[in-house]
Amino acid sequence: MRGSSTRSARAHGVRVWAVCLIAVLPAASLADWRQTIDRVSPSIVELQVVTPRAFDGGGAGRSTATGFVVDAEHGLILTNRHVVTPGPVRAQAVFLDHEEVNVHAVYRDPVHDFGFFRFDPADVRFMQVRELELAPERARVGSEIRVIGNDAGEKISILASTLARLDRSAPRYGPASYNDFNTFYYQAASGTSGGSSGSPVIDESGSVIALNAGGRRRAASSFYLPLDRVVRALDLIRRGEPVARGTVQTVFEHRPFDELRRLGLRRKTEEAVRRAFPDGIGMLVVAEPVRGGPASDRLRPGDIVVRIDRQLATSFLVLEGVLDDRVGERIRFEVERGGRPEVFELDVEDLHSITPSAFVEFGGGVVHELSYQQARNHGVPVGGVYVADPGYRLWQAGVPRSAVITQVGGTPVSTLDTFAEVLSQLPERQRVPVRYFQLSSPRREEVAVLSVERHWFPARRCTRDDRSGRWPCRDLAVPPPPEPLEPATAGLEADGPRALRALAPSMVIVDFDIPFRLDGVHGDRFRGSGLVVDVERGLVVVDRETVPIALGDLSLTFGGSVKVPGEVVYLHPEHNIAVISYDPESIADTPVREAVLRATELEVGDEVVLVAATARHRIVAREAKISRRESLVLPPAAVPRFRERNLELVTLSDTTGSVGGVLADRRGRVLALWASFARETGSEPSSFFAGLPIEQVIDVVEPLRAGRDVGWRSLGFELAALPLADGRERGLPEEYALRLERRDPRERRVLSVVRIAAQSPAASVLREGDLIVTVDGELVTRFREIERAAQAEQLTLGVVRDGRLSEFVIEPSELSGRGTQRALLWAGALLQEPHLPIAIDQQLPRDGVYVAWLWFGSPANRYGLGATLRILAVDGVGTPDLDAFLEAVRNKGDGESVRLEIADLDDKPNMITLRLDLEFWPTQRLELGTTGWRRSSVMGGAIR
C-alpha cells in the first residue's frame, strides 16, 4: 500500500485511491465533530453580494455566498473569485449572530477561484471574531470532512463527506464563463449547491484544508480548490505587498506516464523524474498556448514540460512558483516534443496586466479590455475592447454582448484608453461605423452603425481601487457639438394602382427606440408606418404600438432613402393614435404629400385598398373587403400599460405582411388607419392589425393643424357591447330593449360598464354592470356616440341598474395627450407618477410613486423594490407624488438605509428597507422640456 497523500506527493500528481485508506482512517466521533463545528462556525459568514455592472462575462445581479475569516486582526475574509468577481462589487458579511458589516474586495486571483474581502473588525461589536487556520498540508484522500456554509442560501448548512480525489482537473463551467486552470482540484460527494461557494472544507481538527468552489448539478460531486496559492497570497496581503502573478499565457495539463510515452517521452527522462519523485505518476503537458502570448509561437500542444529554470517541473505548484517569482523576466523552458528535446526562452508576463481593472460606461453599456480568461476560452489574442453589456446604444446598433470591438469610425481601438479617446472626439449624435467580431465566431468581422450620444446616459471611465474597494469614475472629455443635419431629398414615386400612387408620397417608416421603459411599455424598439397629414408642420399620424410613450429616440425614413429625427407631439390617452412631427426643411425637395382623410363608416362587405409599408421600406397595395366590424375587447395586461378600449375596428378578408398602413378607397382617400394593436397572450405580448376609423384620427389632427390643443375629455370608464338578450337578463326594461333594437337593428346591443377608473368623473356615480341607454336624452348604442357627448363640459347619462332607469349628471375630465413627462432614477429603479392604466385597469388611485422598471445589480433589485409597486411613504413621510418623494430622499447619503411603505397592484401594503448605493446608482431626473428630454443629477445625496 502506498503511503498517505502528503502535500509533497499531491504537488507532484500522486493518485491515492480512497478505497485503500477509508478502512484504516479512524472516524471522528460525533461529539468531536460537534465541538469542532461549534468552534469554527462563528468564523463563517454569509456574504450578500451585488454586482452593479456586467463585467468579464458575468452579468449584473445579486447573490449569496459564503466566506470565512482568515485574519481577525486585519479583517480578511476568504471566499471564491467568482464571489469577489473581477468587476465592481458591493457586499456585506453577516456573522453567526446576524451582525452585518460592510466588506470590500481587496484581491481576486486572475486565474484561480479565490479572493479576499476586508472588513473593519471594530464593526463587529457583539461577538469575538476568530480566524480559521489554513492547513493545505492536511488534505488526504479518505479524510472525513465537513463543508460549512450557506448551502442553497440556507444559513449555516453542514454537509459531510470524504475526500475522494486530490488530482481532479479543474472544473469547466462553460465556454463564456470564468474557468479555473493550471491547478488540481479536490473532489468529494458532498452535494453542495448555490450559496455554498466560498465555504471552508474542514477536517476533524477544525483546520481548513480546501475551499469549496463548485459542483455538478446532476450529481453529488463537489469540487474544492487547494489552498497552496491562497496561503501565499494571504501572507503577502497581510504584509501589504502586491500579490505577483506570472504567466506565459499557456494552459497546462497533468498527464500520466503511460500517455506521456505515447506523446514521445524519452525513457531516460522518465527515469530521472521517477527517481526524483518516486510517488509521482505523471508530468505537465502543454494543452493550449493562447494566441498572441509569449509562448504562442514557441510551445505547442503536446509538448512535455521537463524543466523550468533548470528545475524539474512536474507539478502545477512548481510551475506557478517559478512564474510568480519571475514576473517581467525571461525564463528557460525545457520540453520534449515527439521525443526531441527543445529549449525556449520565454517572457513572463504579469497576469494582473491582462486582467481588466477598468471599464468605460457609455450609452447605458459597459466595455473593457478583453481579459485573459475570455481570450483563453475562445482561442483569441488578449486585446481589443470587450462588450460586457451592450446597454442601449450598442444594442440599438446591433452589437451584442461578448463582442470585441476592433474599430470605431475607421480608427483601430486595441485598448480601452484608445476607445475612450476616439469616443470623446466624436460629435454628439454622430453615426459612425463600428467593426467588431463575436467571440463565438472570431474569424468573421461584422459592421454596425453606432449613434454616439450622452443625452440619456453618462460617458465615463471607471478604474478599480483596491484600497477602498471602489471604482472611482471620471467623465470622458466633452465631445464636439453636434454637426448640423444636412437636408436631403428622397424620391417617393411608386408604381401600382391609383390608391398606391396617391398615398406613397404620404407614407413614411417610423422607428422608435426607448432607453427607459416608462408607462409599462413592453419593449424598447418599435417600427411602424406613419401617414403624413400636414406637410407645412411636418405632422405624421402613427399608431401607439409604434410610438407608445413620449420618451425615446424617434426617426422617420422617407422613401427608404432619407432618415430624419422626429418628436412626439401627441399621444391619445384612450385610443391607438399618436402624432409625431419632423422638420420639413430636413427633407429638402422630397415631394411629400399630405394624405386626404375621408370620414365614412365602413361596413362589412365594403371594398377597400390596403396600402401598407413593409419593414424593407416598400409601399405595397392589395384590394380587399371588410370581413368584420366588431367592438374591440382587450384584457388588461399584467403590467399596466396603454390599452385600446371603447372602439370598433374593422378587419379584412385578405391582408399582406407589413408594419402598418391605411385602408383607402380607389382614389387614395384614407378611410381607416391600418394600425397595430398589442394584446397579452400568456406571458408574452403579441400584436395584430386592424382598421381604426379615420374619424378618430380627424378628431386629433384638425385641432393640431389649426395650432390648438386637442383637449380630449373622458368619463373614465370602459364599455362593452352586450347583445340585447343579455341586457334583458340584466334587467333592461322591455321599452328600452325595443327602442334600442329599432335604433340599431343590425347590431341589437346595449352598452354596459365593465370597468371604472379610480378617481374618474364616473367613479362616484356609476357601477360595473350599469347599462347606458341614453346620453342627454338620446338613445346610444355606439361607443363613438358617448365619446362625442363627453367632449362637452357636462352631460346626462341614462343608466339602467337593477331594472330601474336613473339619470346622472357628470362633468368629464380633460386628459393630457403629452404622456408621462418626467421620471426619477433612484436606487436603480425608474420611478414615475402612476399613469392612467393604473387607474382604469387596476382601479387604484393615482397617488404615490410608481416603480416602472429596475436594473439588475441595483439596490432596488437586491431589496425587492420591484416594478409595478407604488411607494407611499419614505421613513414614515408620505410621498403622494414625485416632488414629495424627492424631498424625502434628497439628503440621504451613500450607504444609508431608508424605510419604504409600498403597495402592490392588489393594493396590499408592505414595508421594505433599502440601502443606497450612490456610487453606481445616483439619483437623477428625466424631464421633458421645451428643447426635449433632459437628464440631470439631483444634488443632496453624497457618497460618504
In one-letter notation, the amino acid at residue 379 is G
> What would the DSSP string read from start to end of 250-299?
EEEEEEEHHHHHHHT--HHHHHHHHHH-TT--EEEEEEEEPTTSTTTTT-
Catalytic residue among 82, 368, 378, 575: 82
* Pairing assessment for the beta strands 340-347 and 431-438 based on DSSP bridges: unpaired
- Can you tell me the distance from the alpha carbon of 827 to that of 236, in angstroms, rounded to the nearest whole number? 37
**The CA-based dihedral angle spanning residues 350, 353, 354, 355, taken in that order and rounded to the nearest 10 degrees:** 110
Catalytic residue among 157, 161, 196, 676: 196
82 flagged as catalytic: yes
For 602, 677, 732, 852, the CA distances from 632, given in Å and listed in that order, are 15, 10, 23, 27
By residue count, the chain amounts to: 944
Q: What does the block give as the cell for 275?
A: 527517481
* Residue 480 CB neighbour total at 10 angstroms: 12
- Give just the sign of the alpha carbon dihedral 127, 105, 317, 338: positive
Whole-angstrom distance, CA of residue 599 vs CA of residue 671:
6
Task: Please choose, from the candidates 498, 388, 391, 324, the residue with its C-alpha nearest in 3D space to the C-alpha of residue 57.
Answer: 388
Distance CA 529, CA 508 (A): 6
Burial of 22 (0-12, 13-18, 19+ CB in 10 A): middle
**How far does Cα 709 stand from its chain's mean position?**
38
One DSSP character per residue, 763-818 reads TTT--TT-EEEEETTEE--SHHHHHHHTTSS-EEEEEEETTEEEEEEE-PEEE-SS
- Nearest alpha-carbon partner for 908 in 844, 841, 835, 828: 844
Measure CA 47 to chain center.
Answer: 23
Contact present, 116 and 235 (Cβ < 8 Å): no
Residue 809 CA to residue 831 CA, distance in Å, equals: 36
Q: Please confirm, yes or no, whether 835 is among the known catalytic residues.
A: no
What's the CA gap between 607 and 499, in Å, rounded?
13
Q: Residue 936 to residues 19, 391, 694: CA-CA distances in angstroms?
A: 68, 19, 40
3 state SS for 38-57: HHHHHHEEEEEEEECCCECC
Catalytic residue of the set 56, 71, 109, 113: 113
Mark out the alpha helices in 730-881 (DSSP H runs): 734-743, 783-789, 836-841, 859-863
Name the 3-class secondary structure at 273.
helix
How many alpha carbons fall within 13 Å on the CB side of residue 192? 33
**Distance between CA atoms of residues 595 and 593, nearest Å:** 6
Is 221 one of the annotated active-site residues of the chain?
no
What is the three-state SS of 653-685? CCCCCCCCEEEECCCCCEEEEEEEEEEEECCEE
| The three three-digit cell numbers of residue 97, written as one number | 449572530
Rounded Cα distance between 211 and 147, Å, is 9
Cα–Cα distances in Å, from 838 out to 242, 360, 643? 56, 38, 11
Beta bridge partners of 450: 432
Residue with cell 422617407: 558
Could you write out the DSSP letters of every residue in 26-95? Answer: PPPPHHHHHHHHHHHGGGEEEEEEEE-S-BTTBPSEEEEEEEEEEETTTTEEEE-HHHH-SS--EEEEE-
Q: Closest Cα to residue 692, out of 670, 665, 707?
A: 670
Determine how many CB atoms are found less than 10 A away from the CB of residue 525. Answer: 12
Q: Kindly list the catalytic residues.
A: 82, 113, 196
